[in-house]
A = this chain, B = another copy of it.
Amino acid sequence: MASPTRNPQLRKDPVTNRWVIFSPARAKRPTDFKSKSPANPNTSSNQECPFCIGHEHECAPEIFRIPPDNPDWSIRVIQNLYPALGREVPQHTIDWSPDPGSGLPPWGRVLEGFGFHDVLIESPVHSVQLCDLSPREIGEVLLAHRRRVEQIASYDSIKYVQVFKNHGASAGASLSHSHSQILALPVVPPAVSARLDGTKEYFDKTGKCSICEVQQEDLLIHASSHFISIVPFAATYPFEIWIIPREHSTHFHEIDIEKAVDLGGLLKLMLRKLSLQLNNPPFNFMIQTSPLRVNFSEKPYSHWFLQIVPQLTGVGGFEIGTGCYINPVFPEDAAEVLREVNVSI
């Protein structure tokens, strides 16, 4: 590339009508894009893994650890070494608006790429996967996510915080040591806007929250004290799972210790069921929460949930072109397959 190093940017094209993050810290040279088989991250051993206990100095700066100030930590939250966004609060916003008086071209919009991109190391031990932890330990991971989201929520220009996990190389994990990520954005992303449009439309028609009203009969996999797990009615991906709080709650970071441990158990159960029925597939999970600083008290149509997607099928031209997905497994059938397998947690 001939260009000098640049700061990250968000751009919105008036054609696709979608923000895209341009991230030079994650840049590769063109030759790095040459098509080849992905490296298997599972080949990295304990000795060379920066997320293992004793290798803390190889990581980007730490934000906090649990327990605090303890070399024998169980969870660490650190900065991502290759962040998608820059954590320096911008001095000048470079938002090109189509305002005729601005003198700037009306075509596209640009925002400075401000945000946070952090990593949560879920265990000090290289070979321990999330579903190997106890419900209480998974609950502590979830509470560490809550704490980091609360810290980030103090920045006015952050509009949405996405918590997610990539497990397996083909699901996007670049290191096999169990971890999840927290990416805080200065915009509300398109899938979140579409979800809120959908639940608002339902609320406006019925006066009810569509997620509180979710059809359970054939779609239920399991119920715990505070959550249910279902295959959604129009699951985008085969064997997709949603874990939904039984009591209406708009934001993930409202979760308390009791609910976090209960969710830990149900998440562990679902990951074990997927692993047994689908041969330890690569998977992602995403916490689908609500934008920050939006008050849903008058129209309570937003309800957070945790989405699990095993990566079993690729994306082709049809999906890229239309945004529409083809799922070969009816949700009722997927729910039955996941209900019937017995696992102990």
Contact = CB atoms under 8 A, between A and B. Distances in A.
Interface of A: 1-3, 6, 9, 11-24, 26-28, 30, 33-36, 38, 84, 98, 105-108, 160, 162, 164-166, 170-173, 181, 183, 185, 187, 189-192, 194-195, 197-199, 201-202, 205-206, 210-211, 213-215, 232-236, 238-239, 277-282, 284-288, 307, 309-310, 312, 314-318, 320-333, 336-337
Given A30-B277, A210-B14, A337-B1, A181 B317 contact: yes
B210 A15 contact: yes
Contacts of A162: 318, 321-322
Contacts of A12: 234
Contacts of A331: 22
B312 A35 contact: yes
Nearest to A169: B314
B84 A326 contact: yes
A288 B15 CA distance: 11
How many monomers of this chain does the complex have?
Answer: 2
A321 to B, nearest CB: 3
Contacts of A170: 314
A110 B341 CA distance: 29
Contacts of A194: 16-18, 190, 323
A189 B185 CA distance: 26
A275 B22 CA distance: 23
User: Which residue of A199, A320, A332 has the most chain B CB atoms within 10 A of its CB atom?
Assistant: A320
A284 B316 contact: yes
Contact of A328 (B23, B171, B286, B326): B23
A279 B278 CA distance: 33
Given A15-B199, A172-B315, A278 B34 contact: yes
The 8 closest A-B pairs by CB, nearest first: A172-B316, A17-B198, A164-B317, A191-B323, A286-B321, A189-B322, A284-B317, A13-B234
